[in-house]
């Protein structure tokens, strides 16, 4: 049984309260007298040079807390401004210079030198050059490349051109579509380009005679065509650009396209710079590739369109390859007859 | 014209996350989005310090500079807003922002980003009607003559919001009241001097941190 307190003993409670209040007041008074030095010594240590160093380095440490769910951020994203400056001051303007500059150079070249005609008349006999498989891959990859280049350029510069022209409503729809096309066709382009690169690898191994091709500027310097196998040195450069810069663009694109693998902002900043530099460069070189393959050289476009080239074209542009395959030449009429019959009910003949 | 700014007095922030909750409540933001966050450095150590962070409504905002669709724009009073009709979810603002303010709802497969969301300084955003504005951007307290709810509800008045000049005046007054060189947060000079002299941080007063509660102002 507990000892009960008699009711008359309760007078002690108000007294206790009074003493407590008085002592609190005294404490307050004493603390308010604390000198500035003591204050400084006990204040929350604010942010000292060490803390700023830590914040700037982006290092978070085991005792770093962020109240946001699933956050992998530090306090200050110090590299954000660096990324902005690299992108807006260097990559974007020089991207314009590269692409527009290439168009100007090609136009000037065409006006000055004109089309590269075949030196000899055509023989009318055809050599198989690109199989249906390679042509299908090439035109699919080419279409995707052009779509990706146009949407990419729109993402980079569209706001300066199309928003004032179209107005907000159409502009918003255009940009959403642009991003969807770019993000969804990008991975498809990547897969197909890798398949195409593997398929064409054997023809694009660098050889000794390629050096001579470069020395003669691909035939621009001096007279006559320099030696070339199935692929000339210029084509090999385009191949290896796609095999290096192209792959870098694909990988950096995937890094940005799938942000659900926990990659941080810094990774995506670098991916964006690599992607932009590579893509602007490839777009500029692709313009040269398109020019040479269509307007620039007589007889080149029909190779990728029909799969066959004229004997004369092969002899002049790819002499070493011509020497290997000249006995496979077929008369053009025979080829036409075969392609006519393929439009009927008969099964298409396997070409290449 | 006023220039609206946030400022968090790190000496006062007690990491209660009241601002985070107030923001969520005022703006009814989507699941998974948290416009304001509280960061604590050196948690549990004597040098522990907390700060509440959201969009700081920069004068020269990197997000505006890098946005490919001009989703982001700045009002005359300095508040940086976003137009959700234009956003394509590319994430560039997130790469550039110094404060981790832009966030994206994960709406689709493969982490494809939805439309960006960030602190609006409780100033809503472009919309046809008030209902649409509330649904897309949350409250427009500025239009009602009120300040952001996070700052209004801050229990220690660590988080200040308003015209930059007034916020600066309040903070300056606090620093003066604290009466010592380290009253601000621009570097702990005395500690630094001490550290430079002795070669190690001065932790002698770490046990009497409670004295800090007597600071006025």
pLDDT tens-digit series, residues B85-129:
999 999 999 999 999 999 999 877 888 899 999 999 999 999 999
* Site from B7, B65, B69, B217 to mutate, A interface, most A CB atoms within 10 angstroms: B69
pLDDT of residue A190: 98
Nearest CA in chain A to B111: A260
CB contact under 8 A, B46 and A46: no
Give the minimum alpha-carbon distance from A286 to chain B in angstroms, rounded to a whole number.
Answer: 24
Maximum separation of any 2 CA atoms in chain B, in Å: 64
Bridge-based pairing of strands B49-53 and B37-41 is: antiparallel
Q: Give the pLDDT of residue B182.
A: 58
Contact B78, B5 (CB under 8 A): yes
Between B161 and A22, the higher pLDDT residue: B161
A233-241 and A265-291 helices, crossing angle to 10°: 160
Residues of A in contact with B185 (CB under 8 A): 46-47
Q: Within 10 Å of residue B86's Cβ, how many Cβ atoms?
A: 23
Grouping H, G, I as helix, E, B as strand and the rest as coil, residue B71 is: coil
- Predicted interface score ipTM higher than 0.90: no
- pTM of the predicted protein model: 0.83
Least CB–CB distance from B37: residue in A64, A66, A256: A66
**Model pLDDT for residues A267-298, shown as the tens digit of each residue:** 999 999 999 999 999 999 999 999 999 999 99
Nearest to B194 by CA among B207, B208, B205: B205
Does B176 fall in a domain? no
The two structure tokens encoding residue A50: 């060490």
State whether residue B49 sits within 8 Å of chain A by CB.
Answer: yes
Give per-residue pLDDT as tens, B132-148: 999 999 999 999 999 99
Q: Is B177 domain-assigned?
A: no
CA A257 to centroid of chain Cα atoms: 10
Question: What pLDDT does B178 receive?
Answer: 72
Is position B32 within any domain?
Answer: yes
* Residue B214 confidence (pLDDT): 44
Helical H runs in A242-331? 247-257, 265-291, 301-306, 311-317, 319-325
How many angstroms away from the CA of B47 is the closest CA of chain A?
A: 6
Distance of alpha carbon A322 from alpha carbon B204, whole angstroms: 87
Query: How many other C-beta atoms are found inside a 10 Å radius of the C-beta of residue B11?
Result: 23
Mean pLDDT, residues A203-208 taken together: 94
- Whether residue B34 lies within 8 A of chain A, CB to CB, comes out as yes
Q: Cβ neighbours of residue A65 under 8 Å, at least 6 residues apart?
A: B15, B38, B39, B40, B43
Which structure tokens are listed for B156? 């220690």
Average pLDDT over residues A102-111: 97
Give A-chain residues touching B53 at CB under 8 angstroms: 75
Q: What's the gap in Å between the CA of B145 and the closest CA on chain A?
A: 29
Q: Within an 8 Å CB–CB cutoff, is residue B86 touching chain A?
A: yes
Residue B217 lies in a domain: no
Q: Which residue of B has its CA nearest to A270?
A: B95
CATH number of A86-342: 1.20.950.20
- For residue B12, the enclosing domain spans 4-169
Q: Supply the CATH number for residue B39's domain.
A: 3.30.70.20
Phi and psi at residue B72, to the nearest 5°: -95, 140
User: At A197, is the pLDDT very low, low, confident or very high (cuts 50, 70, 90)?
Assistant: very high
Q: Which of A46, A65, A258 is the closest to B182 by Cβ?
A: A46
Exposure string of A130-161, with b = 16+ CB inside 10 Å and e = fewer, is beeebbebbebbbebbebbbebbbbbbebbee
Chain A partners within 8 Å of B99 (Cβ): 76-77
pLDDT in tens, B178-206: 766 556 654 445 555 666 777 766 555 44
Mean pLDDT of the region A67-71? 79
Q: Is B88 on the interface with A (CB under 8 A)?
A: yes
pLDDT for A40: 58
Residue B159, in any domain of the structure: yes
Residue with tokens 């004109």: A114
Q: Chain B residue closest to A27 (CA)?
A: B214
The chain-wide mean pLDDT, for chain A, equals 87
Q: What is the pLDDT of residue B128?
A: 95
The reply to whether residue A77 touches residue B211, judged by beta carbons under 8 angstroms, is no
Q: How far is CA A262 from CA A73, A121, A266, A267, B111, in A?
A: 11, 61, 11, 10, 10
Which chain A residues have a beta carbon less than 8 Å from that of B211?
A: 31, 34, 38-39, 42
Q: Which of B205, B208, B207, B215 is nearest to B179 (CA)?
A: B215
Question: Cα distance from A193 to chain B (closest Cα, Å)?
Answer: 22
Nearest Cα to B82, choosing from A40, B146, B213, B74?
A: B74
What's the rounded mean pLDDT across residues A4-27? 65
First-last CA distance in chain A = 107
Decide if B209 and A32 are in contact by the 8 Å CB cutoff: no
State how far the Cα of B16 lies from the Cα of B45, in Å rounded to an integer. 17
Query: For residue A169, what pLDDT is reported?
Result: 87
Nearest C-alpha neighbor of A285 from the set A244, A230, A231, A253:
A244
**Chain B contacts of A87, Cβ < 8 Å?**
66
Q: Are the CB atoms for A137 and A196 separated by under 8 Å?
A: yes
Do B39 and A42 make contact, defined as CB atoms within 8 angstroms? no
Quote the number of domains for chain B: 1
Q: What is the mean pLDDT of chain B?
A: 86
Ordered by start, the domain boundaries in chain A are 86-342
- For A340, counting Cβ atoms within 10 Å of its Cβ (0-12 exposed, 13-18 middle, 19+ buried), the class is exposed
Residues B66, A87: C-beta atoms closer than 8 Å: yes
């Amino acid at each position: 049984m507990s000892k009960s307190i008699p009711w008359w003993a309760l007078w002690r409670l108000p007294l206790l309260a009074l003493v407590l209040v008085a002592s609190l007041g005294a404490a307050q008074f004493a603390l308010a007298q604390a000198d500035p030095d003591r204050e400084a010594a006990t204040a929350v240590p604010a942010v000292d040079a060490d803390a700023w160093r830590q914040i700037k380095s982006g290092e978070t440490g085991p005792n770093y807390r962020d109240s946001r769910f699933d956050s992998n951020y530090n306090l200050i994203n110090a590299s954000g401004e660096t990324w902005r400056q690299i992108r807006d001051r260097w990559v974007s303007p020089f991207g314009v210079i590269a692409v527009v500059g290439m168009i100007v150079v090609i136009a000037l070249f065409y006006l000055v030198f004109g089309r590269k005609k075949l030196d000899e008349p055509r023989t009318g006999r055809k050599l198989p050059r690109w199989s249906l498989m390679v042509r299908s891959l090439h035109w699919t990859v080419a279409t995707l490349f052009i779509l990706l280049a146009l949407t990419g350029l729109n993402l980079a510069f569209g706001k300066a051109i199309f928003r004032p022209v179209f107005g907000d409503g159409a502009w918003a729809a255009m940009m959403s579509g642009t991003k969807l096309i770019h993000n969804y066709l990008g991975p498809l382009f990547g897969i197909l380009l890798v398949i195409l690169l593997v398929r064409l690898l054997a023809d694009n191994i660098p050889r000794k005679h390629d050096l001579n091709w470069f020395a003669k500027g691909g035939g621009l310097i001096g007279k006559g065509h320099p030696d070339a196998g199935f692929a000339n040195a210029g084509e090999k450069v385009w191949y290896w650009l796609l095999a290096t810069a192209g792959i870098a663009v694909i990988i950096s694109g995937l890094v940005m396209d799938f942000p659900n693998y926990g990659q941080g902002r810094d990774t995506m900043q670098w991916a964006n710079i690599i992607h932009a530099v590579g893509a602007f460069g490839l777009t500029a070189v692709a313009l040269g590739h398109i020019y040479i393959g269509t307007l620039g050289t007589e007889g080149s476009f029909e190779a990728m369109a029909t799969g066959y080239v004229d004997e004369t074209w092969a002899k002049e542009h790819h002499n070493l390859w011509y020497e290997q395959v000249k006995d496979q030449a077929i008369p053009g009429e025979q080829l036409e007859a075969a392609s006519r019959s393929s439009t009927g009910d008969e099964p298409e003949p396997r070409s290449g | 014209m006023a220039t609206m700014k946030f400022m968090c007095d790190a000496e006062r922030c007690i990491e209660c996350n009241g601002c985070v909750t107030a923001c969520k409540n005022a703006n009814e933001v989507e699941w998974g989005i948290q416009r304001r966050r509280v960061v604590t450095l050196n948690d549990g150590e004597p040098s522990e310090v907390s700060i509440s962070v959201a969009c700081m409504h920069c004068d020269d905002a990197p997000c505006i500079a890098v946005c490919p669709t001009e989703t982001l724009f700045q009002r005359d009073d300095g508040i940086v807003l976003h137009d959700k009709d234009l956003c394509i979810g590319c994430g560039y603002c997130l790469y550039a922002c110094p404060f981790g303010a832009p966030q994206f709802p994960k709406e689709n497969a493969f982490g494809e980003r939805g439309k960006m969301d960030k602190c609006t300084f409780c100033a809503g955003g472009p919309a046809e009607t008030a209902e649409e504005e509330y649904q897309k951007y949350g409250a427009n307290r500025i239009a009602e003559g009120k300040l952001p709810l996070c700052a209004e509800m801050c229990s220690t008045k660590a988080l200040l919001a308003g015209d930059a000049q007034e916020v600066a005046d309040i903070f300056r007054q606090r620093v003066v009241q604290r009466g010592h060189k380290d009253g601000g947060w621009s570097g702990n000079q005395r500690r630094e001097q001490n550290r430079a002299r002795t070669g190690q941080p001065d932790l002698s007063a770490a046990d009497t941190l409670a004295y800090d509660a007597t600071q006025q102002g």
